[in-house]
Amino acid sequence: MSLRRSGPARRTFPAAAGILITLLSTLAAPGAAGANATDVRGPDHPEKDWMGSTIRAHEGGDRADAPAPRAAGSSVEGVDVSSHNGRVKWSTLRRSGVRFAYVKATEGTSYTNPSFTRQYNGSYKTGMVRGAYHFALPNNSSGAAQAKYFVKHGGDWSGDGKTLPGALDMEYNPYGATCYGKSPSAMVSWIGDFFKTYRAHTGRHAVIYTSANWWKQCTRDSGRFDDTNPLWVPRYGPSVGQLPAKWDFHTIWQYRSNGSAVGDRNQFNGTYSRLRALARG
């Protein structure tokens, strides 16, 4: 019995093998599922998305004028880190005056920071007050699902006096539409769902990180959370500037994105004793 074919459909074995190899290579390639898969399964490159990464892209980075000096003891220096920082020199930061740190723990419901444990424990071992943050993807899954994922993978809280409440990072969508395809009312509901679930699991109100511009655009400047959730605001200039919605004051200010040792620099708006009070709840 002959296996030979005639006519246009005929292919040689090497050609068929080449097609098979190409197909297998395509299926194995990172991101082969397509850009739309990031909306469901999570981002292809979450290590590039750290707190404020999209703020710089949409609102600009550091300005030449440095933050105005604060009176001694009226603020506390801090940093925030994620996997893109790699091995952080915590002892160097401590000697430079840094006293608190936030570490990225999770993103959506499919990503955990591979450096989280080393970074989280490293800051703690040098005597810093530390906390964890979650990069929100509201089009990925519900607020409740992401809060549970965050708590399960590093975002839980303990009353040891050195663990800050978890923070929700709400900023521009790095993978698509600015407001993740949600209306202002739907976005506010999503955030409320996250906060309610986080508090049910930890007993704490989560900190919220967001800019005035994003908040106005994506929540229609909602004032729903200003009485309960501490505000962490990014602005890379000499002052904190306009605050979102009805918050009367900020708790943390991310004032720089190109500091030495670690780029993102923050100031807690108060004394060190008040920072410890926030940690104790």
Could you identify the residue written with the tokens 């071992």? 125
Residues 274 and 197: beta-carbon distance below 8 Å: no
The residues annotated with a catalytic role in the active site are 80, 169, 171
- Any idea what DSSP says for residue 37? G
Could you identify the residue written with the tokens 């980075």? 61
What residue type is assigned to position 9 of the chain?
A: A
Structure tokens at 237: 């200039």
The pair phi, psi for residue 187, each rounded to 5°, is -65, -45
Residues 229 and 199: beta-carbon distance below 8 Å: no
Cα–Cα nearest to 243, from 205, 206, 211: 211
Q: How far is CA 200 from the centre of its chain?
A: 21
* Terminal Cα-to-Cα distance of the chain (whole angstroms): 82
In angstroms, the Cα distances linking 138 to 39, 62, 166, 179, 280 are 9, 28, 17, 9, 29
Q: Which residues contact 49 (CB under 8 A, 6 or more apart)?
A: 43, 82, 107, 135, 174
The pair phi, psi for residue 207, each rounded to 5°, is -75, 145
Q: Which residues contact 168 (CB under 8 A, 6 or more apart)?
A: 133, 134, 136, 191, 194, 195, 198, 206, 207, 208, 209
